[in-house]
């Protein structure tokens, strides 16, 4: 059975790995000219269920070796006073097994573990998908596939081709984010620093294995902003006008906008498709159920969703209609809970009122003050919230795994 996957970041290579392991013939098409390079992108999280899956893939040691090593977050209030959050304590409370890693490092590890068994088509994109599985590409000759999967992110090409424009399925969560590369001029090592005010958050972090640093900006606006998604100069101008009077390192970080080699700006938007399969096409990862970039731990969901999709296709011996229904059933609860988690996280991350800044600082003080076993026990009571990911049971598909026989 021939399966085409669009996108080679996180969901794409995990899906390709498991499909190949179950005996399917897999091609991955990726728009960028080459695999993602080490050191770029932003930090992402893998929580327990995703860690169990990458462990079964045999890449958990490589992933741990590339962890960012960020273990403290210094938050600066409008008064200039700071409070430091012990991130190790926080993550030990929210997950039994957690790694933070740069997305491009993770993507590179996942690509390397699949590249000899899977056909990768770089610098290409799907142009059309026929009902009979005939796929045309922007550059490569047409081919026929039994199943086509969109693993091509929040602004998925496959979703647009099959389900229509994204505006029909998205809800804006009231905020925007920007991330861009800057020199590590503060010589940060294991520490993320940020300044918080009503409606505005700006920060900088570096990571082990990274020569430079990332500046991150979050902003809340009463109404959606008017800008073009490909006009980076306009987006940079929006950032400058929102943050021009913020103190601390913000003027220096804004000055770096003139030279940065990489710049990302997007709305914090939640996808709300009721179903993400149609005919022989389905979606996985951010393309299907992004709860909002940077607010929902969606990398873990991309790993778990990819594993479930591949396993259900194996369990149903390639009967894709039955497999897609089972996949959506298995991942549905995780998707719905992550949406409500992300809505709360978006509100908490960018304070809307002075009271929210105060509440954030006091929550940090509480986490720091509680002995680790107590904060861990308290977090365990809150499975729908902070322990969302760890509370997801992943079905056992070992019976279909020939490598386990």
Ligand X SMILES: Cc1cc2nc3c(=O)[nH]c(=O)nc-3n(C[C@H](O)[C@H](O)[C@H](O)COP(=O)(O)OP(=O)(O)OC[C@H]3O[C@@H](n4cnc5c(N)ncnc54)[C@H](O)[C@@H]3O)c2cc1C
Interacting residue ranges for ligand X, rule: CB under 6 A: 6-12, 29-32, 42-45, 103, 125, 151-153, 157, 177, 179, 264, 285-287, 293-294, 297-300, 302
Nearer CB in complex with ligand X: 283/400: 283
CB of 355 to ligand X, least distance (A): 25
Residue written as tokens 């900006």?
Answer: 217
Give the shortest CB-354-to-ligand X separation in angstroms: 26
Instruction: Name every residue whose Cβ is closer than 8 Å to that of residue 402 and which is 6 or more positions away in sequence.
Output: 21, 22, 23
For residues 347-371, b (16+ Cβ closer than 10 Å) or e, as one string? Answer: bebbbeeeebbeebbeebeebeebe
Query: Which residue number, 30 or 108, has a Cβ lying nearer to ligand X?
Result: 30
Residue position matching structure tokens 């929102």 = 242
Shortest CB 301 distance to ligand X, Å = 7
Is 209 or 318 the residue whose CB approaches ligand X more closely? 209
Q: Which is nearer to ligand X, 204 or 400 (CB)?
A: 204
> Which CB atom, from 44 or from 315, has the smaller least distance to ligand X?
44
Nearest CA among 93, 105, 106, 110 for reference residue 48: 93
> Cβ closer to ligand X: 129 or 254?
129
Phi, psi of 127 (to 5 degrees): -100, -45
> Residue 148 contacts by C-beta under 8 Å, 6 or more apart in sequence?
3, 4, 6, 126, 129, 133, 135, 158, 280, 281, 282
Residues 6+ apart with CB under 8 A from 379: 93, 94, 386, 387
CB of 184 to ligand X, least distance (A): 18
By CB neighbour count within 10 A (0-12 exposed, 13-18 middle, 19+ buried), where does 72 fall? middle
Instruction: Provide the minimum distance between the beta carbon of 265 and ligand X in the complex, in angstroms, as a whole number.
Output: 9
- When the beta carbons of 213 and 287 are compared against ligand X, the nearer one is 287
SS3 333: helix
Other C-beta atoms within 10 Å of 134: how many? 12
CA distance 108 to 114: 10
- What single DSSP character describes residue 1? -
Q: Closer CB to ligand X, residue 215 or residue 400?
A: 215
Q: Residue 47 CB, nearest distance to ligand X (Å)?
A: 8
Q: CA dihedral defined by 292, 293, 296, 300, rounded to 10 degrees?
A: 120
The nearer residue to ligand X, 165 or 371, going by C-beta atoms, is: 165
β partners of residue 172: 269
Contact 122, 33 (CB under 8 A): yes
Residue 369 beta carbon to ligand X: minimum distance, rounded to whole angstroms: 25
- What minimum distance in Å lies between the beta carbon of 152 and ligand X? 4
How, if at all, do strands 72-76 and 43-46 pair?
A: unpaired
Q: Which is nearer to ligand X, 44 or 326 (CB)?
A: 44
Radius of gyration, alpha carbons of the chain: 21
- Minimum gap (Å) between residue 405 Cβ and ligand X: 30
Min dist CB 113 to ligand X, Å, is: 15
User: Measured at CB, which residue is nearest to ligand X?
Assistant: 285
């Amino acid at each position: 059975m021939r399966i085409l996957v669009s996108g080679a970041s996180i969901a794409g290579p995990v899906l390709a790995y498991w499909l190949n392991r179950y005996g399917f013939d897999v091609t991955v098409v990726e728009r960028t000219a080459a695999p993602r390079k080490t050191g770029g992108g932003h930090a992402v999280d893998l929580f327990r269920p995703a860690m169990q899956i990458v462990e079964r893939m045999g890449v958990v040691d490589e992933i741990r070796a590339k962890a960012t090593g960020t273990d403290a977050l210094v938050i600066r209030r409008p008064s200039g006073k700071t409070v430091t959050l012990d991130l190790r304590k926080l993550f030990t409370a929210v997950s039994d097994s957690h790694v933070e890693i740069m997305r491009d490092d993770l993507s590179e590890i996942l690509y390397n573990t699949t590249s000899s068994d899977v056909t990768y088509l770089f610098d290409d994109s799907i142009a059309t998908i026929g009902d009979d599985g005939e796929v045309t590409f922007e550059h490569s000759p047409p081919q026929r596939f039994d199943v086509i999967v969109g693993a091509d992110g929040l602004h998925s090409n496959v979703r647009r081709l099959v389900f229509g424009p994204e505006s029909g399925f998205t809800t804006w969560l009231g905020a925007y984010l920007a991330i861009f590369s800057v020199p590590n001029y503060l010589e940060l090592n294991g520490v993320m620093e940020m300044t918080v005010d009503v409606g505005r958050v700006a920060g900088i972090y570096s990571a082990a294995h990274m020569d430079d640093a990332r500046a991150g900006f979050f902003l809340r606006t009463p109404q959606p902003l008017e800008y073009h998604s490909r006009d980076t100069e306009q987006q940079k101008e929006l950032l400058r006008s929102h943050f021009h009077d913020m103190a601390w390192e913000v003027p220096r970080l804004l000055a770096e906008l003139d030279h940065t080699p990489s710049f990302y700006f997007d709305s914090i938007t939640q996808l709300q498709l009721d179903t993400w399969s149609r005919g022989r096409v389905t979606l996985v990862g951010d393309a299907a159920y992004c709860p909002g970039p940077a607010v929902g731990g969606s990398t873990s969901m991309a790993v778990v969703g990819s594993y479930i999709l591949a396993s259900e296709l194996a369990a149903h011996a390639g009967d894709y209609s039955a497999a897609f229904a089972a996949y959506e059933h298995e991942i549905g609860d995780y998707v719905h809970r992550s949406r409500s988690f992300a809505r709360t996280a978006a509100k908490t991350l960018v304070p809307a009122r002075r009271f929210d800044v105060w509440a954030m600082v006091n929550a940090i003080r509480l986490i720091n003050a509680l002995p680790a076993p107590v904060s861990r026990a308290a977090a365990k009571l809150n499975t729908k919230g902070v322990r969302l990911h760890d509370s997801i049971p992943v079905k056992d598909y070992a019976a279909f795994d020939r490598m386990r026989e």
